[in-house]
Amino acid sequence: MTGTVKRFSRSVATGVHNSKILGVRAGDPTDHRFTGVWGVVVQGRIFVRSWTLKSGGWYRTFLENPIGTMQVGDRQLRIRAVPVRSERVRDAVERAYAEKYSTKASAKYVRGFRSPRRREATIELRPR
């Protein structure tokens, strides 16, 4: 059976595109607080990458339980985190990070997001 993949509305994607930081809360809301992360939009889809990959952090929690919440401005949206396996999509996410976070201060992190372990930590946030 073929189903369509849920996507966020254009207004949500625009909100992520226009904000430098969005909040993600992985798993049960009572277990985790919102963590500020860099989000990018590629072809209307929302992506994030983890910097630290630490145990107990948002990325590892999403791998165990893909349900969570995203905060964009004043809005809180229920999400499902889906790991990205496509190298083509990962490449597009890297380009989006370089374009969106283009300041001298951001350069270190944009370069760091290109490392193999962080590329593998690319997550798509979808509505649930």
Residue ranges of domains in the chain, CATH in brackets: 10-127 (2.30.110.10)
Confidence at residue 3, expressed as pLDDT on a 0 to 100 scale: 63
Q: Which residues pair with 80 in a beta bridge?
A: 67, 126
Q: Is the pTM of this model over 0.95?
A: no
Cα–Cα distance for residue pair 75/112, rounded to 1 Å: 29
Look at residue 28 and tell me whether its pLDDT is greater than 60: yes
Model pLDDT for residues 8-27, shown as the tens digit of each residue: 999 999 999 999 999 999 98
The token pair that represents 90 in the structure block: 């990962």
Mean pLDDT score of the chain, rounded to an integer?
93
For 43, residues 6+ apart whose C-beta sits below 8 A from its C-beta are 92
Look at residue 2 and tell me whether its pLDDT is greater than 80: no
> DSSP labels for 30-94?
TT---EEE-EEEETTEEEEE-SS--TTSHHHHHHH--EEEEEETTEEEEEEEEE---HHHHHHHH
Confidence at residue 29, expressed as pLDDT on a 0 to 100 scale: 72
> How many CB atoms sit inside 10 A of residue 4's CB?
5
